[in-house]
Amino acid sequence: MKNPFKKNNHTALIGAIVIGSVAAGAIAFLFLTEIGNDARKSLKKKIKSFAKDAAVDAISKKAKIKKKVVNAAANHVVK
């Protein structure tokens, strides 16, 4: 039989609810406000640039091609 006086630890549940609420608020801000629209466009450019740089680094290391050549090809493909 369970002990009725033992308290359950709900710390993880409360933390998940707080993180989910903050994430939902941030997403709502990005999609429902004019400032959020500008921020979303800026974030999209930064993420695209970061992903392109990471891909250039990975390809140049794996294929042993100079970064300059891979970066030129990536600039041609990703606009």
> DSSP states of 8-64 as a string?
P--HHHHHHHHHHHHHHHHHHHHHHSHHHHHHHHHHHHHHHHHHHHHHHHHHHHHHT
What letter represents residue 79's amino acid? K
Place of tokens 């091609």: 65
pLDDT band at residue 19 using 50, 70 and 90 as cut-offs? very high
Q: Which two tokens stand for residue 31?
A: 């999609």
10-to-7, 13, 15 alpha-carbon distances in Å: 9, 5, 9
Q: What is the pLDDT of residues 37-68, one digit of tens each?
A: 999 999 999 998 898 888 888 888 888 888 78
